[in-house]
Amino acid sequence: MPRILLILLTVLTVLAATAARPRTQRNVRQQRQQTTEQIKETNRRIQQNTKETERQLNQLNLLSARIRETNRDIAAMQKSLDSINSAVTGLTDSIAALDSHLEQLRRKYATAVKKMHGNRNAVNKLAFMFASESVSQAYRRMRYLEQYSRWRQRKTDEIAATVKTLDIKRAELDEKRRQQARAVERLAEARSELGKQKESTDKLVAGLKKEGRSLKTLLKEKEKEAKRLDAELERLIAEEARKQREEEERRKREAQAAAAAEKNKPDGGKAEKKAKVKPVPRPTKEAPDDKAYAALSGSFEQNKGRLPYPVAGRYSVVRPFGRTTHPDLPHVQVDNSGIDIEVSPGTAVRAVFDGKVSEIFKLAGFETIVMVRHGRYLTIYANVDGITVKKGDEVKAGMTIGKVYADPSDNNRSVLHFEIREERKKLDPQLWLK
């Protein structure tokens, strides 16, 4: 935005500075040159803005997709966590049952040990055996002691196994809970970071769109200024044409007066006429050998639809006359005062009809402009390089006046801008060319 304001301030400063000076073609052309350069720069910035906006929108879409994917992962993880919680509930029930079973085992074992310790003779297995009244009783007591010993060992092992199982299940439960908690935490952090990136990108895209709108507004203002300067230039051209007509009428009157004075002399002014008659200088340029030029005759107006194209060799009309869409900005409509003809680099520019070079000047965006007058008609050749004529030269149809400028900033693209005007009135060149 500061750049845009600076450009606007520069334009206003230039306009204010030039407003106080006399309005000459040179002043207007300088202003038009500055405005054209600013239009070109604004178009360049609009293109950059459009590309950056598209890039950031793509980034925004990517971030949105990643956020959606992360949300799906969190949802899946939460579902898994719910499943684990359900398993935890079942495991808790199992632990409670195991705890109850363990408690029963411990009570039974304690009761048995207590009974065994309650009978002192039972502590001594041999005493317990020898106290038998018979061999049969001693055998039964021995079997009992063996069974009791195995039962006690079995119960001891069972208690130990149960405790171990409970410890393993508790460890598994704790580990699952920790893993799930870490996974959910990581996903939440990722979602938060993506959210921050999306918010930042949203602000950047909003800023780019705002800048784009400002640049387009600025472009429209500069296009208006360019049109105003074109109108001013046309007015000055018309003024030049008026002065030329007045000069021609003055010369005509002077010639008539001189002729009348000569007629009134005793010898009819014959001697002086002989002295004043001189050969009319002819252009030294070689005449074109193109049959199209040789076929022209009569006045400029009489050759409407028969004029050859103002270039040699192959060509292509890349931009027609009138209101057309901007080549780089589809949303912008621009007016073309003539036609744009693309040719190969180095192609010669030729005069389409006999005439006189009335003006040669430079204008930003058009390189050098050559204006040729054909009575009340004008042909304008813009984007010309290597000029071979000068102001005031008489030119013949087909004469080379320069070559089409090859723009190094556009890969040496060569485009001739050609106009036909009836004084200030703009005409469609393609209606006049053959």
The pLDDT confidence band at residue 414, using thresholds 50, 70 and 90, is very high
Q: Are strands 377-385 and 400-404 parallel, antiparallel or unpaired?
A: antiparallel
User: pLDDT: is 75 or 314 the higher one?
Assistant: 314
Q: What's the pLDDT at 301?
A: 93
Tell the burial category of 46 from Cβ atoms under 10 Å away from its Cβ (0-12, 13-18, 19+).
Answer: buried
- As a whole number of angstroms, the distance between CA 419 and CA 434 comes to 15
Query: Cα–Cα distance between 79 and 347 in angstroms, integer?
Result: 74
Report the alpha-carbon distance of residue 392 to residue 400 in Å, rounded. Answer: 15
Q: Are 340 and 415 in contact (CB under 8 A)?
A: yes
Name the burial class of residue 310, with classes exposed (0-12), middle (13-18) and buried (19+) by CB atoms within 10 angstroms of its CB: buried
**Per-residue model confidence as pLDDT tens digits over 214-249:** 878 877 887 787 777 777 767 777 776 777 678 778
% of the chain exceeding 70 in pLDDT = 74
pLDDT (average), residues 34-39: 78
CB 311 within 8 A of CB 416: yes
Question: What is the SS3 string spanning the chain?
Answer: CHHHHHHHHHHHHHHHHHHCCCCCHHHHHHHHHHHHHHHHHHHHHHHHHHHHHHHHHHHHHHHHHHHHHHHHHHHHHHHHHHHHHHHHHHHHHHHHHHHHHHHHHHHHHHHHHHHHHHCHHHHCHHHHHHCCCCHHHHHHHHHHHHHHHHHHHHHHHHHHHHHHHHHHHHHHHHHHHHHHHHHHHHHHHHHHHHHHHHHHHHHHHHHHHHHHHHHHHHHHHHHHHHHHHHHHHHHHHHHHHHHHHHHHHHHHHHHHHHHHHHHHCCCCCHHHHHHHCCCCCCCCCCCCCCHHHHCCCCCCHHHCCCECCCECCCCEEEECCEEEECCCCCCCEEEECCEEEEECCCCEEECCCCEEEEEEEECCCCEEEEEEEECCEEEEEEEEECCCCCCCCEECCCCEEEEECEEHHHCCEEEEEEEEEECCEEECHHHCEC
pLDDT at residue 355 above 80? yes
* pLDDT at residue 393, rounded to an integer: 94
Q: Say if residue 210's pLDDT is above 60.
A: yes
**Domain spanning 24-256, CATH architecture:** Orthogonal Bundle (1.10)
Query: Which residues make up the CATH 1.10.287 domain(s) of the chain?
Result: 24-256
The mean pLDDT value for 53-60 works out to 81
* Other residues' Cβ atoms within 10 Å of the Cβ of residue 63: 19
Statement: residue 364 has pLDDT above 60 = yes
Q: Which CATH class is domain 298-434?
A: mainly beta
pLDDT score, position 279: 39
How far CA 266 is from CA of 99, 254, 271, 337, 397, in Å, comes to: 154, 20, 11, 57, 44
Here the tokens at position 315 are 């060509």
Model pLDDT, residue 307: 94
- The residue with greater pLDDT, 205 or 94, is 205
pLDDT at 200 over 70: yes
For residue 129, the model assigns a pLDDT of 57
What number is the average pLDDT over the span 26-49?
78
For CATH 2.70.70.10, the residue range(s) in the chain are 298-434
Q: What is the average pLDDT value for the chain, to the nearest integer? A: 76
Q: What is the pTM of this model?
A: 0.41
CA distance 202 to 215: 20
Over residues 375-408, the pLDDT tens digits come to 989 999 999 999 999 999 999 999 999 999 998 8
- Pair of tokens at residue 336: 């073309």
**Tell me: the pLDDT tens digits for 120-170?**
444 455 565 566 677 777 677 677 777 777 877 787 787 778 778 777 877
Residue 359 has pLDDT above 80, yes or no: yes
In this prediction, residue 353 has a pLDDT band, given cuts at 50, 70 and 90, of: very high
Condensed to tens digits (0 to 9), the pLDDT of residues 261-283 reads 777 766 554 444 444 433 333 33
